A = this chain, B = another copy of it.
């Protein structure tokens, strides 16, 4: 049983390799009658696409989505939405050097072992290129739940960390810089740091914080399908993600119950929100917030020792363009997966 279908009521099936003809997907379960803003969908894709700024990979893809079904006279029909994004950047000769080699911390080795062989061009299916399909579906999901506000931003790049709580930040600043950090000064530092990393031919990790506001009470289906459980799954399914914490997170383990318990106001809201907007697996109407850890991208431009498919030690040298820091482009992906999870639960109610 393969794993390329996500969700229960809003279901997304995706396909496509980084250097095949096209990537795409089928969305099954989008309600009928939604007047789709197609430009908003393309805008989300543009926020993810390579080459959008000087601090991300300079690979060129226009990433134009083409919808094939499920929309009629501007509205969703309740039937499945099929879509494709043609691959334009097919310099697969860039990858001949890794045809016989396993790049460190990539999926090359495990794909060969699991499937017997692999599409070696740019990582094939294991490339983060597939996340473009998630962004398309997420942009549609957002339009199913327009009342819910989903904002992600970069809160750390390497050791440069934004320590203010989210409610002391001005979210309007996020899209004003290439890093997508709402603190302008820190954003500038991050940008310079990423440029330096790029020059070194290296990469650096980071953290994306996501805040979800105006969430109705009642999303989540205990005991297994708790809202935080599916958010965690959604995030950990994104390439390069190593961790997830919501509400008080790992720091909350140091607190006592008498400190951590969120006291109620008489309207059912709470005075603190260590719970992160979810209690017992169900949204309680307060803001949901969580943090997602991204490791440094494995593709670097420095020479690396590794093994070939026969176990011989070889040296490989990164070619083409690399992405020095993935988190700026990860912001719309985190938002998209959040939207998919929330729309799914919204439709499950």
Measured CB to CB, the residues of A under 8 A from B are 1-6, 8-9, 11, 13-17, 20-26, 28-29, 32-33, 66-70, 72, 75, 77-82, 84, 102, 104-107, 109-111, 113-119, 124-126, 130, 156, 158-159, 197, 200, 202-207, 217-218, 220-226, 228-237, 239, 241-250, 252-268, 270, 274-276, 279-284, 291, 293-300, 302, 304-307, 311-313, 347-348
Given contacts A13-B13, A22-B69, A124-B77, contact A256 B204 (CB under 8 A): yes
**Contact between B110 and A218 (Cβ–Cβ < 8 Å)?**
yes
Given contacts A107-B282, A261-B104, contact A266 B313 (CB under 8 A): yes
**Contact between A23 and B156 (Cβ–Cβ < 8 Å)?**
no
Bound state CA distance, A105 and B94, in angstroms?
A: 54
Q: Looking at the complex, which one of B113, B126, B257, B275 makes contact with A204 (CB distance below 8 Å)? A: B257
**Contact between B33 and A116 (Cβ–Cβ < 8 Å)?**
yes
Bound state CA distance, A84 and B23, in angstroms?
A: 12
Q: Looking at the complex, which one of B115, B203, B222, B280 makes contact with A256 (CB distance below 8 Å)? A: B203
Given contacts A242-B246, A253-B242, contact A118 B77 (CB under 8 A): yes
Q: Looking at the complex, which one of B114, B266, B279, B347 makes contact with A311 (CB distance below 8 Å)? A: B266
Query: How many copies of the shown chain assemble into the complex?
Result: 4
Q: Is the interface of A mostly helix, strand, loop or mixed?
A: mixed
Given contacts A16-B68, A246-B242, contact A125 B258 (CB under 8 A): no
